[in-house]
Structure 1
Amino acid sequence: MKFIRTISFPFVPVYYAVSRLRNMLYDLGLKKSMSYDFPVICVGNLSVGGTGKTPMIEYLIDVLKTDYRVATLSRGYKRKSKGFQLADATSTAETLGDEPFQFYNKFKDSVQIAVDADRVHGIKLLRSLKNPPEVILLDDAFQHRKVNAGLTILLTTYQNPFFSDYVLPTGNLREPKSGAKRADIIVVTKCPEHINTEDKKRFLKKISPETNQQVFFSAINYANEVIASENKKGMDEISNFTLVTGIANAHPLVDFLNKKHLKFEHLNFKDHHEFSPQDIATLEKKELIVTTEKDFMRLRHYDALKKKLYYLPIHISIDDADAFKKLVHNFIKA
């Protein structure tokens, strides 16, 4: 894969030029972008996957759901349904996609969870509901410029920041680095638990934020227990298990488990992996399986796995969280 990316370098200027032209057409108003008179918050990235959009959406839901009617709108990547879908008790990972189904499974009816590849159409249908949302969170929509969100939150990881990357196909950027200037808030995700001041200064210098942009730093926090459909175990109760991941970057999770001195084998699949009958047959032979919450959504309906399948919950913490929450609340009130 690395070799293919290296020899693809001559195509980088082509991808750069096409994506840059597309953004210029939107910036100049030659391509239409919808704006709204109610709060629409976009969470996205410049990179292909793995920046922590799902935990950020969940963080925002927790911040807002007490005071507002909140909806999330996602594309529903790799779902088997078409068009607009609003989550209900009959929904599955196949009809919504794994991440939106995770939102629904966690928050149930306290939040409206919807998917639609056409975000403009999805927003229109959400607002036509009997009890329309007061705030809409757009999941992974930074490049979906048909919608001009009122507040845009751009995520980039501490390990692979956008300013050190290249556009596709050699790098992981969906568009040139200059796209970061469209963000209102930039969050450096997956930071070390105790990031020091010098590291923050280094990132701020590299990001070189505009005067209207705020930069925050966040970290992943893992729970001290793993959870099954009808059971849970403390981290000190599990050993010799199989770790199953189908996410963009499993390294932070693997590092966490290694620091706990736990013994496990790791079955590492690509992001949004669709588990085949052969995969399930392999997993059925394992005694204990620990996975991510996203992968749990896709595996939980297999009867042979229910008694042995657990997921490790995560949440994020944001440095200077009060300032971050104040920015979000002030935008909504305005």
Structure 2
Amino acid sequence: MIRLLRIILFPISIIYALIMWLRNRLYDWRLLKSTAFKFPVVVIGNLAVGGTGKSPMAEYILRLINPHKDIMLLSRGYGRKTKGFREVSIHDSAALVGDEPLQIKRKFGSTQVYVCEDRVFALNKIGSSGSGVLLDDAYQHRALKPSFSILLFDYKSLLKPMLPLPTGNFRDTLLESKRASLIVVTKCPHRTDQKIRRLIEQKLQQYTTAPIFFSAISYQQLQNSQGQALPLAAISTYQALLITGIAKPAPLRDHLSSHLQQLTHINFKDHHTFSAADLDAIKTDFAALKCDDKIIITTEKDYQRLPESFINTFPVYTVPIEQRILFGGQALFDSLLLRAFNIQS
């Protein structure tokens, strides 16, 4: 039914693509204004809707840059119930600042994190003193002219027809990859076929001269709210209830299934706000697990939206993830990022 609806909506996709093309050309022709800044402004983004790994990439960059200089992070704060400019505190809620900015702030406590829909307004407000700002999900924010742009593509999306919304999942066409300073193909299989890798490179190189890197997700050990680790090797006799509200939960579900005795999955839409009814349903499903060794597993992003009372009552564990650059590209990748923030590698 959904597939049929997308086919029916194809004429709207053509109109949408034409509107987005015209919008981008107006910025390229300087008929619409893009604001540049004197300090490093590094943007992470994608052309598709969600699920490319922007948050793990932001964390990768913060781990790389933080030992050299303090940079700030600016996000739209998707899913928050507030509007306007706001600095993120570790004591905030996801409703105030969004789940992803809150996750970053809690993991990188010394990093100043801000949310604002208007990135130019926010950058003018916070300044930078030359240290630099990292922007999460701002590739399409053409009112801003970044000094360096990182464009992410989900591996599987490049193996399918890349159709615009609403028939497909792309907000822009591949033509817009020409603005990227570097490109990362994310969520690659750990054994990526060399021929497929070359086909992807050739596909992208029709539109861009930016260096292309490939990355994979590296799942870390489960952790509870006290930071205590639960190794995957220790959960083979466990039953678990997996709660997700992310764009593409299948890879995580498959990863965990291979390590657990039984996995039950409750899937919500991306950035879902957990209601009292949702929490009651989760409690019921958890109680139904017939095993003494049972836990609740969720993503770091979803964890930010769970009430503290729930986390303190149930054995809730998160699965931290990290980006891993493949095929020997990490040294060059890191050096390009360091230079983007005016750091000599």
User: TM-score, normalized by length of structure 1?
Assistant: 0.93
Alignment-derived partner of residue 11 in structure 1? 12
1:186 equivalent in structure 2: 183
Partner residue, 2:205: 208
Other-structure match for 1:294: 301
CA shift digits 1:305-334 (9 cap, x unpaired): 543211111101012111001111223228
What's 1:330 paired with?
A: 339
Instruction: Give, as a single letter, the amino acid of the residue that structure 2 aligns with 1:325.
Output: D
Q: CA deviation at 1:260?
A: 2.6
Counterpart of 1:83 in 2: which secondary structure?
coil
Write out per-residue CA displacement over residues 122-165 of structure 1, whole angstroms, 9 at most, x where no aligned residue. Answer: 1112217xxx5611011000110111111100000111128731
Give the whole-Å Cα distance in 2 for the aligned partners of 1:281 and 1:217.
41
How far, CA to CA, are the matches of 2:124 and 2:188 in structure 1? 37
Identity %, equivalent residues: 38
Q: Which residue of 2 aligns with 1:115?
A: 115
Per-residue deviation at 1:259? 3.0
Give the whole-Å Cα distance in 1 for the aligned partners of 2:87 and 2:308.
20
* Aligned-residue offset at 1:232: 3.4
Q: Which secondary structure state, in structure 1, belongs to the residue aligned with residue 183 of structure 2?
A: strand
Inter-partner Cα distance in structure 2 for 1:159 and 1:186: 15
TM-score, with normalisation over the residues of structure 2?
0.90
Q: Summarize deviations over 1:12-36 as a string: whole Å, max 9, x none.
A: 1110111111001000000000011
Change beyond 3 A, Cα 1:323–1:198: same
**Pairs within 5 Å for 1:77-116:** 77-109=78-110, 111-116=111-116
Task: Report if the CA contact (8 A) 1:189-1:218 is conserved.
Answer: yes
2:222 is the alignment partner of 1:226: yes
Gaps of 5+ in 1: none
1:321 aligns with 2:317: no
Query: How much is the aligned-residue C-alpha RMSD, in angstroms?
Result: 1.8
Aligned to 1:251: 250
Partner of 1:310: 317
Between 260-269 and 302-311, report the one with greater CA deviation.
302-311
Aligned-partner Cα distance in 1 for 2:143–2:158: 26
* Range 41-50 or range 306-315, more displaced: 306-315
Whether 2:137 is the aligned partner of 1:147: answer: no
In the TM superposition, structure 1's runs of 4+ consecutive aligned residues that sit over 6 Å from their partners are: none
State the Cα deviation string for residues 219-242 of structure 1 (Å, max 9, x = none): 00001x211112432223432111
Aligned to 1:199: 196
Question: CA separation in 2, counterparts of 1:84 and 1:306?
Answer: 34
Report Cα offsets for 1:160-187 as digits up to 9, x if no partner: 1287310001000101221111111110
CA offsets 1:225-269 (integer angstroms, 9 cap, x no match): 211112432223432111111000011111212333541111111
CA distance in 2: counterparts of 1:260 and 1:158, whole angstroms: 24
Superposed displacement of residue 302, structure 1: 3.0
Determine helix, strand or coil for the equivalent of 1:108: coil
CA contact (8 A) 1:299 1:305 kept: no
SS of residue in 1 equivalent to 2:123: helix
Deviations 1:203-230 (A, max 9, x none): 111112567410000000001x211112
Residues 1:260 and 1:290: Cα distance change in structure 2 (over 3 Å): same
Amino acid at match of 2:19: V
Contact 1:284 1:305 in 2 (8 A): no
What is the DSSP-based 3-state SS (H/G/I as helix, E as strand, rest coil) of the residue aligned with 1:164? coil
Task: Provide the rounded CA distance (Å) in 1 between the counterparts of 2:312 and 2:159.
Answer: 38
CA contact (8 A) 2:75 2:116 kept: yes
Amino acid at match of 1:115: V
1:305–1:280 CA distance, 2 compared to 1 (3 A) = farther
